[in-house]
Amino acid sequence: MEGAIEVYRWQAEYDSWHAPALLARLLARHGRGAEAVEVVRAMNSAEDRIVDLLCELLAAEGRAGEGLAHLDALEARGTWEPWELFRLRARLLAACGRLDEAVEEARASSGSGGPYAAEEMARLLADAGRPEEAIAFLDSDRPEHRRTLGLLLIERGRAEEAVPLPRAPRSTTPPPEPEPGPGPAGHGDCPHF
């Protein structure tokens, strides 16, 4: 493994994000999470995939609170969409054992978390062993919720409820758009995929 790390470190000198991200993931897989966090922090990037990786590594290291502080700093700069911050914040709150706080924030936001906030919360609830709450969080009338809702229903042994979801007519009401803003890493109001 040390040879691979050496190659990635060498490559990172010539690569803005890809090699450092691969190096960080390799370090984390081999129990060197603190070192992985430092590799990502050294990139000093507000790019969405880098921030996402940093939050993931911090949560895995039991340092989700640091990830929340990092998101607060990004929010203060005003360079990120509120719905994107919500997505990462919800994951970090769950990692801190504060899932109920994330759920309350999602309910209070009523749409400002973006069109996928309910799906994100449903996934977090299901992963936390609360599948019935996850199912209740999703609206079967919203086409963007149907896929996640269908999978959750099937996992709970309720396939008969999932079968009609793909056949349901599409709503004529479009999903709410994320709040406009500069977007992650200054990419206008383009959605993050």
- The two tokens of residue 129 are 């062993």
Q: Does domain 1-77 have CATH number 1.10.3470?
A: no
Q: Give the closest residue to 193 by CA, choosing from 67, 118, 107, 81.
A: 81
Lowest-pLDDT choice from 1-10, 53-62, 81-90: 1-10
Burial 169-184 (b: 16+ CB within 10 A, else e): eeeeeeeeebeeeebb
Residue 138: pLDDT over 90: no
Q: Give the closest residue to 109 by CA, choosing from 190, 178, 171, 24.
A: 178
**Tens of pLDDT, residues 14-69:** 777 888 899 999 999 999 999 999 999 998 888 889 999 999 999 999 999 999 99
Q: What is the pLDDT of residue 44?
A: 85
- Please state the domain extents for the chain: 1-77, 97-188
- Average pLDDT, stretch 72-84? 87
- pTM comes to 0.73
